[in-house]
Structure 1
């Protein structure tokens, strides 16, 4: 390997590793923010939070890699151009393509590694991540009753506390709404003070109320035929309540996600999609056969042998004016019968569509995920062919212009990719169209920028663009005058 190649590789990967960490951190924060309600107030330990962050970071790596490569290539070649090193290399007879060759090989290997990661590591991390998220969603929130507002963290209860003695932990001016028996049989309790405890096994919540009253509706016990609703009113000096409140963190079984697309590699996705496609096709074939047998020419009994009408009779039948020969009562009966049949067919079509929706959606999501594994891996290589020539053309290094350009380019890519995904998910496009549209848009841009940079084109030279504009104006004026 030439010294120049080693130098280029060192320059790139020293920047790439830093940008990859930055991109993973940014995407990780975005993911955490979208699931912040599943984390806040749950009272889980540091180990559970560490697991969440590790699995979430692994899940965003496939999307962070293209952005990191784009930013790294922009900064590397921008630095080389800014320090006139790129000009010196070209003056020595080395073309831009030859300068890029070691990085092309390296990024190709990174793309292959990205596919391997998405195919083997990502399904495992996704299963563990979503199992953890579902477990966090089901966990009871940490018991922290705020002051001056209703606390709804306990299912079936609303608790209000006006003040709290910080030294003794005594809650003052408490109001409790108990809807555990239903809204109609709600119980309202008011107490001067009270305490809240968790049982030793963390399965129950104990409320001790002092000097208060309770009012309970007994609408469910109302005597039939009577408009009066019975109720119970109680005055107490001390009252104790025991409420189910499981504050332990229990994990879901990971097997609940094993049939989901997030848990499968490329071969498993293809196999599952093909298997369910065969089932959906057999259902659709059976539905069409039933529709034809039942409704086509109104043949409800297709197995009965009937005599063929004579050709002479058909030839002389006035089909078009047949309706006019009917009496008003016969017309009404014919129209009613036709409308009923049309309504039945419409209902049958709607039902058939509902029956086929789930298997078709299952196949669609699997095929989308299959294409995503390949498209994101190829995006790494395409973003390099955008970032490297763009950095050479712009000629600016550091974290200024390259960051702005790369973020703008990535947002452009993300909008196209996300739009294609939604169109494919909603069955408006085929999965391959939705997942490869971003590649189809960016690939010509990469080829164009590489060509321009290799030929030292003044792509961002305002004087060159002004000259071109003046030439176009002159041509237009000549055409109008001619």
Structure 2
């Protein structure tokens, strides 16, 4: 039985408060981004408040499923980042409560949000999407408000180009007006110039009333004779002229039935039905095209029916077209080539048209299948993003709007790039449509599982030193030794005993160099069949590190500087790769990889030979420095 405890209420309340804010912020950002795409086509139309309200309402409904994953990711990061920053998460874990138990109430809530996202996409989203696209098309087709600028030609009135040199903003009076009227055709243009004028909208908002004063009108008179070279025109001077121009400024909603072929305005059942219909249609068209091609193109493209009968009766298997062509006269050759060229062009055009029809149907099928799967993947993204955000917040332990926002945006951008890119490639037919649509989920789901596992085990994920050490080991890069003078020294080194140890280490290094041929190429078989460690080098490294720790208590700065020359010995890299003998043998059998590993081990052997000589030289320098220091103290 599920029992709700105070901890569940506390965690869920903390998450819900942040989620409410982040959701509306994300929804607002996506709505502004959507509006920005169409702002150039919608501005200046004089749209009423109720039309704009419908636009924002329907766009908000369609963008809810896209806003939910980002809002969940950001809220989870902030919530558990705040818990980590205030040590509340540490207190919960110290009480023996694992992370999975802490996040359980929020997981259930995110599953509910995923279900709501699916409901919006499958039930509400398609209807809202259709209304939104219908509204957008209607808004685009609405005539703009008449606001003629100064100094440029205004062409938003159909059939007219109007130029105004100066406009009085207070009185609305236009001065020095030039009007090109092409409503009767370009050849019968009416050109009007007026010193002053005024433009008004009629009460029914269906016409523009143009008042012109002190001007002239030029009009071409249509020639009665086609072959006439002189076209007369008429010139009219007027003191006052009034003209009506047809111009509808009312907003009319278009019929949205033309959007029925779009896949984003259908639910999953309608998409499945549409896919079946499109597949059946494509199969029938394909069979019809195949029959048509086989019956006309290949059978009747070159040979006439009489020729086909003759070939069958005489059992002719091979036709030597070259000999037939060479036996023709020049006129016959020209006729054959011209006929063939025309036939090939006709076939090419016909096949291009048929190819376009089949490709268009295939693209529509892929688009429907992609949108069917998208309704599931976008719902799952709500859950996946939580399992990314909550562990990351627990790991980075940073709340507020700083680091969580940066990480959230970065992860969402990666998700969006993968999702949009893979979906676009899949819709083009270059990738399996299911794989392309699910690519973002396939990439991010393991990432969420990894972060959840690491956070639940309190593993270090963002410790740069751990990754730096891994890559140094992988690439064979070593750290330099840095010795510093200690402020407090409890035990001073026993230099006489240390000299003996230094001599012993030098002898061990020299003996190893004499008994092991490190510069020569190692035996390939021995490397990949050997899984033993080099105990001699391990012992030298142990003695050297103990000696360095002993001499680090010295006050001699020269001695500390000399100890910086000691290398960090790798006790295994020059012998074999793994402790498992069969695993070494497996890599040895794979020739390309085995050869590279063999050369890498040889490189480690050469480096070991150099390190041993450096140790011997450094030991001698330290012994000399200790003896010099002892002589100085005796004096």
2:24 is the counterpart of 1:24:
no
Question: Structure 2: how far apart are the matches of 1:429 and 1:413?
Answer: 18
Following TM superposition, by how much is the alpha carbon of 1:135 offset from its aligned partner in structure 2, in angstroms? 1.1
Matching residue within 223, 238, 241 for 2:240 = 238
The residue aligned with 2:472 is 470
2:440 is the counterpart of 1:438:
yes
Which of the pair has the greater relative contact order for Cα pairs under 8 Å at 6+ separation? 1
The residue aligned with 2:171 is 168
Deviations 1:76-101 (A, max 9, x none): 11111111111222222222222222
Is the contact between residue 115 and residue 377 of structure 1 (CA under 8 Å) also seen in structure 2?
yes
Q: 1:35 aligns to what SS in structure 2?
A: helix
Is the contact between residue 222 and residue 230 of structure 1 (CA under 8 Å) also seen in structure 2?
no
Following TM superposition, by how much is the alpha carbon of 1:72 offset from its aligned partner in structure 2, in angstroms? 1.0
Is the contact between residue 294 and residue 300 of structure 1 (CA under 8 Å) also seen in structure 2?
no
Matching residue within 124, 130, 135 for 1:132 = 135
Deviations 1:259-280 (A, max 9, x none): 4323211101111111121111
Q: 1:356 aligns to what SS in structure 2?
A: helix
Is the contact between residue 371 and residue 431 of structure 1 (CA under 8 Å) also seen in structure 2?
no
Aligned residue pairs, count: 474
Question: Structure 2: how far apart are the matches of 1:54 and 1:344?
Answer: 52
The residue aligned with 1:114 is 117
Deviations 1:432-461 (A, max 9, x none): 233211112212222222222222222111
Structure 1 unaligned segments of length 5 or more: list them. Answer: none
The residue aligned with 2:55 is 52
The residue aligned with 1:328 is 326
Q: 1:275 aligns to what SS in structure 2?
A: helix
Change in 2 beyond 3 A, CA 1:168/1:426: same
Question: Structure 2: how far apart are the matches of 1:258 and 1:323?
Answer: 53
Deviations 1:193-242 (A, max 9, x none): 11111111111101010001122234x42632232232221111111111
Question: Structure 2: how far apart are the matches of 1:225 and 1:197?
Answer: 43
Deviations 1:374-422 (A, max 9, x none): 1111111111111111111211111101101111111111111111232
The residue aligned with 1:397 is 399
Q: Structure 1 residues 328-337 or 281-290, which shifts more?
A: 328-337
Question: Structure 2: how far apart are the matches of 1:165 and 1:307?
Answer: 88
The residue aligned with 1:368 is 370
The residue aligned with 1:101 is 104
2:478 is the counterpart of 1:480:
no
Question: Structure 2: how far apart are the matches of 1:349 and 1:195?
Answer: 58
Change in 2 beyond 3 A, CA 1:456/1:478: farther
Question: Structure 2: how far apart are the matches of 1:67 and 1:252?
Answer: 34
2:4 is the counterpart of 1:4:
no
Q: Structure 1 residues 90-99 or 9-18, which shifts more?
A: 90-99
Q: Structure 1 residues 46-55 or 226-235, which shifts more?
A: 226-235
Following TM superposition, by how much is the alpha carbon of 1:470 offset from its aligned partner in structure 2, in angstroms? 3.2
The residue aligned with 1:79 is 82
Change in 2 beyond 3 A, CA 1:306/1:268: farther
The residue aligned with 2:199 is 196
Give TM-score, length-normalised by structure 1.
0.90
Following TM superposition, by how much is the alpha carbon of 1:144 offset from its aligned partner in structure 2, in angstroms? 1.7
Following TM superposition, by how much is the alpha carbon of 1:258 offset from its aligned partner in structure 2, in angstroms? 3.9
Question: Structure 2: how far apart are the matches of 1:369 and 1:283?
Answer: 24
Question: Structure 2: how far apart are the matches of 1:86 and 1:358?
Answer: 55
1:18-417 alignment, distance < 5 Å: 18-218=21-221, 220-221=222-223, 223-296=225-298, 328-329=326-327, 346-417=348-419
Change in 2 beyond 3 A, CA 1:14/1:306: farther
Structure 2 unaligned segments of length 5 or more: list them. Answer: 477-572, 574-596, 606-635
Question: Structure 1: how far apart are the matches of 2:322 and 2:249?
Answer: 78
Q: Structure 1 residues 90-99 or 275-284, which shifts more?
A: 90-99
Question: Structure 1: how far apart are the matches of 2:431 and 2:453?
Answer: 32
Question: Structure 2: how far apart are the matches of 1:253 and 1:351?
Answer: 29
Is the contact between residue 191 and residue 211 of structure 1 (CA under 8 Å) also seen in structure 2?
yes
Following TM superposition, by how much is the alpha carbon of 1:345 offset from its aligned partner in structure 2, in angstroms? 5.2
Matching residue within 443, 453, 456 for 2:455 = 453
Question: Structure 1: how far apart are the matches of 2:248 and 2:210?
Answer: 15
Change in 2 beyond 3 A, CA 1:60/1:452: same
